[in-house]
Amino acid sequence: MTENGDATPLVRLENVNKRFGDLHVLKDINLTVDRGEVLVVIGPSGGGKSTLCRTINRLETIDSGTIVFDGKPLPSEGKALARLRSEVGMVFQSFNLFAHKTILENVTLGPIKVRKQSREAAEKRGMELLERVGIASQAHKYPAQLSGGQQQRTAIARALAMDPKMILFDEPTSALDPEMVQEVLDVMVELARDGMTMMVVTHEMGFARRAANRVVFMAGGQVVEENTPDEFFTNPRTDRAKDFLSKIL
C-alpha cells in the first residue's frame, strides 16, 4: 500500500495468454503486484518469465486476457503508451546502455527527451541518482570503462530518472562476475526499502529472502506456486518447485 493509502494493486493480470506461433508461452496468468511490493519471479529457463515482464510495459502484446496498470487497461499506442513506458522502468540482464554516451548522459537522456526536462535539471537529478547508486565519480566515463556491476547500477539510475511507478528487473545480475553481484543487489534492496514497486526475475535466494514480499514460481508458462519467500524456500508445495530448488540451491 502507498503512503496515500491506495490499496488497489498497481498491476493486475487476468487470464493473460500469450503465444509465439504454436508455443503457448503464458497460460492463463492471474497475478497482482501491490503498490510498494517486491515480487520475485523464479523458475526454469523458458518458463515465460521474461515474456511476463515484457507484457507489463507492453514490449509484448498479449493474445487474450487483461492487464490493468494503475487502474487503467494497458494502452496500446500513442502518448498513453509512451507514458506507460516511462512509468514502468526496466532493467535487463545485458544493461543496454548507450555505448557512445557517458554514464551521466545515459541517465539524463530520457528525462530530457521524453520528460522535456532542462539539461540543467536533468543533470542535477542525474548526479543525485548516480550518488545514490554509488557511482557519481564515474559520471563522465563511457559504459565500456566501467565494470559490469557499475554498468548495471547505471541502468538502475537511468530507470529511476524517469520517476517510474514500478521497475521490472529481468535477471539483473545474471551477466555479472560473481564479485559484482552483491553491489547490484544491495542497490536493489535499498530501493525496495524505499518503497519502490518491483518485479524481479532472479535466482538470487539471498535477495528474495531479504527483500521479497512474495515469490512466484513460474514454469511452463504457468504460475505454479505463489508464497512468502520463507515458505517457498523452506516448504515448496509442488514437486516442480522442489525439483527446481534442488537444482539451484
Q: Which is nearer to ligand ADP, 47 or 89 (CB)?
A: 47
Which segments of 59-176 are extended strands (E)?
64-69, 72-73, 88-91, 166-170
Treating both helix axes as pointing N-terminal to C-terminal, what angle do 148-160 and 178-193 enclose, rounded to 10 degrees? Answer: 20
CA angle 70, 75, 76 (to 5 degrees): 155
Q: Would you give the binding string for ligand ADP spanning residues 4-33, x where CB under 6 A is met?
A: ----------------x--x-x--------
The C-alpha cell 508461452 sits at 25
Q: Which of 11, 16, 31, 48 binds ligand ADP (CB under 6 A)?
A: 48
Of 12, 35, 49, 153, the one binding ligand ADP by CB under 6 A: 49
Measured distance CA(8)–CA(230) in Å, rounded: 25
Does residue 248 interact with ligand ADP by CB under 6 A?
no
Residue 225 · residue 241 · CB < 8 Å: yes
Three-state SS at 150: helix
Closer Cβ to Mg ion, 50 or 173, answer by number: 50
**Residue closer to ligand ADP (CB basis): 47 or 164:** 47
Which of residues 25 and 122 has its CB atom nearest to ligand ADP in the complex? 25
Shortest reach from residue 67's CB to Mg ion, in Å = 19
Q: Does residue 240 belong to the site contacting ligand ADP (CB under 6 A)?
A: no
**114 lies in the site for ligand ADP, by CB under 6 A:** no
In the complex, the smallest distance separating the C-beta of residue 144 from ligand ADP, rounded to whole angstroms, is: 27
Closest CA to 167 of 150, 155, 175: 155
Count of C-beta atoms within a 10 Å radius of residue 172: 28
Contacting positions for ligand ADP (CB under 6 A): 20, 23, 25, 45-51
